[in-house]
Structure 1
Amino acid sequence: MVLALAGCGAPAATSPGPPSSGRSSSTPSSSSAAPAAAELAGVDALEAAYAARVGVWALDTGTGQVLEHRADERFAHASTLKLLLVGLLLDRVPDAELDAVVPIGADDVLEYAPVTSQHVGTGLPLRELMAAAITVSDNTAANLLVARLGGPAQVQAALRELGNPTTRVDRVEPDLNEALPGDPRDTSTPADLGATVQQLVLGDVLAPDRRALLQQWLRENTTGDAAIRAGVPEGWEVGDKTGSGGYGTRNDVAVVQPDDGGAPLVVVLLTDRGVPDADADDGLLADATRLVVDQLAR
């Protein structure tokens, strides 16, 4: 797949944090004004049906049309952060360091580490750690990437430099997935997460070869088949990164390429259910994706 890429509803009390005090630009710059953001129709019914809170930010990069729902509310970002980690590193490391081996010790390995657990003592090239973080959501790989960037505070500072005013990076795996209602740690908003995904995956932040690597790994992701990928029409291409956490948190962020070769869509779906042991449901993400596709197609 090749992405044709160019530059009962849950009550607010279940939110991991208050609405953000600021947000970055949510539409592409243009000489003419982009359409005003519109509310995504039908999400209230989905929230009631799934007993969930749903945050949506979706951008048609061709028209600049944005669809949103709870786009400025905070949600736990969970493993969607791994896309940002990889993007930040691709922007910072020289070519030689991509193939430099990163040591992996026994103490580094977390419970979910399908790739890194096989390389204790030998390590992996940085390039392969980045691929593992996205394509299988390897948690140990993610923590090693955070360390390579200087720690959570430095990751957050790098996001601020990109113009993301709200995304918080406070902890590492697995603690960042706690998603405790009312806790602003390790949260973002659909609007600001979407704007940063757009910058890294479609924009000019990364050099073309680095951007192509990120796009390739997102296309090769294995954790999202039942989420956004399940909600797009047959033949459309998706590169995505999912995330899961406590309180029924289930997220997916994606760049979606229609099969007619038109401009890609950026779709951010962040959800939670407000109950500690609630199960996540990928069907909710697929159904929300269908709403996005249908409304943007009108």
Structure 2
Amino acid sequence: MRSRTRFIMLVSALAVPLLAGCGESAHDVPAPMPSTSQESSPPPATVLDDDLESLEDEFQARVGVSVLDTGTGATIEYRSDERFGYASTLKVFAVAEMLRQVAPEQRDEIVTWTDETVAQAGYSPVTAEHVADGLTLAQLAEAALRDSDNAATNLILDRIGGTEGLQAGLELLGDTTTDVADIEPELNEVVPGETGNTTAPAAFASGLAAVLKPEHLDPADRTTLLEWMSANATGDALIRAGAPADWVVADKSGGAGGKRNDIAVVTPPGQSPIIVAILTEKYDPDAAYEDELVARVAEAVLARSAGGGS
């Protein structure tokens, strides 16, 4: 059963002035006339539900959304507690945990690997070019985020204690939902009925919001993380494509088989960041994912977020 979208707005007490302070009594205010010819508009949550359900029908895919406006506290949720395979979106949390664990001066140490390391990891465009000379830990982290380099991700995981180390790091963020079972490339595989290599949109959105808090990352490390995410080479057709042109999007994408995901920190001009997690999965496990689905979901939900419209 699909969960309905939930809008939760934190409303300031100043938003509703008291009648006693308006110079009129309650008896002086005319009662509204009942409508006889026009039905009231459906609530925004229902409209968005219908939009997302239509996209699910059009693309034959399941969609999960969790959005948090860090300025107002408003949220948008759609299938936000359902499980999806996370694919490479997990890399942002591996890198964040490395930044938390490893002192800045230690990130300049050179890490080396073999051709076999690259071959076993699969897609590794950066590390494949540096088998002979290696890269620093910081450069590996950047490659994992900007280029979604698998071997770089595995080397970062080695440094933070493997899947168990990342699982512990997620739990520090309050995430007890995500199940980190494998490294690359197996982390893209989800066994039906099992939780390994899956998360829920709400878990990733709240985790990303927690990562950005000063008690988790120093301001300099937070800036570094967002810079690496802002230059994500694989995200242009996803949330970034669905956001207004003048909004800044720092994201990490993920995709495998019928799964296409993107999680992002989206900043409208002059406003607080909005945390967005969009996870999608084709109903047909043999069907290829479609970037357009994520972009259109992002367009729909951001239009109902701060600065995006009604």
| Same fold, judged at TM 0.5 (above) | yes
Are 1:102 and 2:119 an aligned pair?
no
- C-alpha distance in structure 1 between counterparts of 2:163 and 2:294, whole Å: 28
Measured after TM superposition, the shift of residue 29 of structure 1 is: 11
C-alpha contact 1:255 1:267 (8 A) present in aligned 2: yes
For structure 2, the residue ranges without an aligned partner over 5 or more in a row are 14-44
Q: Deviations over 1:154-192 (max 9, x none)?
A: 211221122111111110111110134333101111001
Taking the aligned partners of 1:30 and 1:290, their CA distance within structure 2 comes to: 25
2:193 is the counterpart of 1:182: yes
RMSD over aligned CA atoms reads 2.4
Matches within 5 A, 1:146-157: 146-157=157-168
Opposite residue 231 of structure 1, the aligned amino acid is: G
- Structure 1 residue ranges, 4+ long, deviating more than 4 angstroms after superposition: 27-32
For 2:76 and 2:128, the matched residues in 1 are separated by 40
Q: Which whole-Å CA distance do the structure 2 matches of 1:57 and 1:76 have between them? A: 15
- TM-score calculated relative to the size of structure 2: 0.82
* Superposed CA offset, 1:32-51 (max 9, x none): 9xxxxx67432111101110
Paired with 1:96 and 1:203, the residues of 2 have a C-alpha distance of 20
Distance, in Å, in 1 between the alignment partners of 2:158 and 2:11 is: 37
User: Whole-Å Cα distance in 2 between the matches of residues 201 and 207 of structure 1?
Assistant: 9
> Residue 30 of structure 1: CA displacement?
11
8 Å CA contact 1:179–1:249 kept in 2: the answer is no
Match of 1:91 in 2: 100
Give the share of equivalent positions with the same residue, in percent. Answer: 42
How big is each residue's C-alpha offset from its partner over 1:46-99, in whole Å with a ceiling of 9 and x where there is no partner? 101110000000111111110011000111111000000000110110122110
Higher relative contact order (CA 8 A, sep 6+): 1
What corresponds to 1:256 in structure 2?
A: 266
2:173 is matched by which residue type in structure 1? L
Equivalent pair of 2:9/2:74 in contact (CA under 8 Å): no
Alpha-carbon contact 1:104-1:122 (below 8 Å) kept: no
Q: Secondary structure at the match of 2:303?
A: helix
Paired residue type of 1:263 = S
- Cα distance in 2 for residues equivalent to 1:290 and 1:161: 32
CA distance in 1, matches of 2:191, 2:278: 18
State the alpha-carbon separation in 2 of the partners of residues 203 and 287 from structure 1: 32
Of 224, 238, 241, which residue of structure 2 is paired with 1:213?
A: 224
Q: Does 1:142 align with 2:153?
A: yes
Q: Please list the CA deviations of residues 181-231 of structure 1 after superposition, one character each: whole Å capped at 9, or x if unmatched.
A: 333101111001111111113554100111110010010111011100000
- Secondary structure, in 3 states, of the residue corresponding to 1:255? strand
| TM score, norm. by length of structure 1 | 0.85
Change (3 A) 1:29 1:97: farther
Q: Which runs of 5+ in 1 are unaligned?
A: 1-10, 13-18, 20-26, 33-37
1:89-133 Cα distance to aligned partner (Å, 9 max, x none): 101101221101111212210331100011113211000000000
Tell me if structure 2 keeps the 8 A contact 1:80–1:242.
yes
- Residue 75 (structure 1) aligns with: 84
Aligned residues: 270
Aligned equivalent of 2:138? 127
